[in-house]
Structure 1
Amino acid sequence: MASLLGNLFILSAPSGAGKSSLIKALLEKHDDSSTYPMQVSVSHTTRAPRPGEVDGVHYHFVSREQFEALIEQGVFFEYAEVFGNYYGTSRVTIEQTLHRGIDVFLDIDWQGARQVKAALPDACGIFILPPSASVLRERLTRRGQDAGEVIDSRMREAVSEMSHFDEFDYVLINDNFATALNELEAIVVAQRQRTMKQQMRHQNLIKDLLEQ
């Protein structure tokens, strides 16, 4: 894949660790930024919408048959099956957005992250951990969306998910939300200042400076 002006950030975490809330807060904080625009990728999924979720905003909700047809067409940049449902990201949409210099955030699990890294090694992987297992269970329970046996299943899955933390470039502990948000922002800013990105972004300036 050719060099891309925008940065691709992969955020993974066990359910309830707060990755979606952190991404949402970061985008809201920089909503009026024209220098470094950013957006979250809208994935496809076969799971049913949760209360308050809107098709095309939170996810593209499709049937299992539709999703499998898209797999056959090679539409997805990555896809995975989690808790019996498919999740996938449009490859074409991601590439077009990055080419326009817009940073993209992917909220996906470790399986999807591994696929993206294989296709785009420069993608920045960030894994978010809860401060403790008890806090994670409390957060899942507080949602009030799942029965006790579902929460038990999610806790077991969390252990499997968290065992892949060392495949990522950065690890954040989401204990204090404001602190975790500041740390996420610091990673984003650092990625933007990498030599390759700055050379692409400011090629005319660098050319002028070196011709003095």
Structure 2
Amino acid sequence: MYQLKEKEMIFVFTGPDGSGRKTVADMVGTTLGIKKVISYTSRAKRPSEVDGQDYHFISREQFEEGINNKEFVEVTEIDGNFYGIKGYDIEQEFKNNDFIYLILNSSGARTLKKLFGEKVSRIYIYVDRDIIIERQKALGVSQEIIDFHFKHYDEDMAYKDECKHAVENTDLAHTVFAVTEILEGYMDRQLEEKD
């Protein structure tokens, strides 16, 4: 497994489905020039998703082969689909960057925290259930998909207290600003230690 150097850090964005964690993470990552490590999944691609941008979409057989070859540092199975992060991808991003970020569910975030300890900072993005429902209905998401997203909502919300940082995403611009400030705090601290 990759050993993080003193100045290196992993930011993990987590929170319930529909909370905007991916949007917030990507906007903050772009603002601060932090590279994203993209998860792999065996589930089918949704219409709005892009392979290599949202996930690396691979077959269940390819995923199982990766597990058998110990390529994954973290694997979660949700509703019969695998999700995971490859150790090689983390190592590659750290070749040119001191900071990286990932978007994971609570199980994946917990695993990375166990593996890398203090080198992982978890940022929990959440929204009230009713706001998520409103947003998803406004986007034309079917009731079936909304119900599916809420299957794990309470379980995901219970993870909030384990994370050092929790930001309610009621206003995207404010959320991105708040999270950017949180991450800058870590990045400035690391830069100061170099002097």
TM-score by length of 1: 0.83
SS of the residue corresponding to residue 126 of structure 1 reads strand
Task: Give the greater-gyration-radius structure (CA).
Answer: 1
SS of the residue corresponding to residue 88 of structure 1 reads strand
Whole-Å separation in 2 of the counterparts to 1:120 and 1:159: 26
Shift of 1:191: 0.8
Assess if the C-alpha contact under 8 Å between 1:19 and 1:107 holds in 2.
Answer: yes
Assess if the C-alpha contact under 8 Å between 1:4 and 1:98 holds in 2.
Answer: no
**Alignment correspondent of 2:122:** 125
SS of the residue corresponding to residue 120 of structure 1 reads helix
Whole-Å separation in 2 of the counterparts to 1:182 and 1:53: 25
SS of the residue corresponding to residue 10 of structure 1 reads strand
What is the CA deviation profile of residues 167-189 of structure 1, one whole-angstrom value per residue up to 9, with x for unaligned ones?
Answer: 11100000111111111101110
Whole-Å separation in 2 of the counterparts to 1:84 and 1:177: 32
* Alpha-carbon RMSD: 1.8
Assess if the C-alpha contact under 8 Å between 1:67 and 1:86 holds in 2.
Answer: yes
Q: 1:9 aligns with which of 8, 11, 14?
A: 11
Whole-Å separation in 1 of the counterparts to 2:27 and 2:98: 17
**Alignment correspondent of 1:57:** 53
> Which ranges of structure 2 fall in alignment gaps of 5 or more residues?
none
Task: Output the amino acid matched with 2:26.
Answer: K
TM-score by length of 2: 0.89
SS of the residue corresponding to residue 84 of structure 2 reads strand
Shift of 1:4: 4.7
Aligned pair count? 192
Q: Percent identity?
A: 28
Q: 1:156 aligns with which of 148, 151, 171?
A: 151
Assess if the C-alpha contact under 8 Å between 2:37 and 2:93 holds in 1.
Answer: no
Whole-Å separation in 2 of the counterparts to 1:136 and 1:54: 22
> Which ranges of structure 1 fall in alignment gaps of 5 or more residues?
31-36, 207-212
Assess if the C-alpha contact under 8 Å between 1:8 and 1:105 holds in 2.
Answer: yes
Shift of 1:156: 3.4
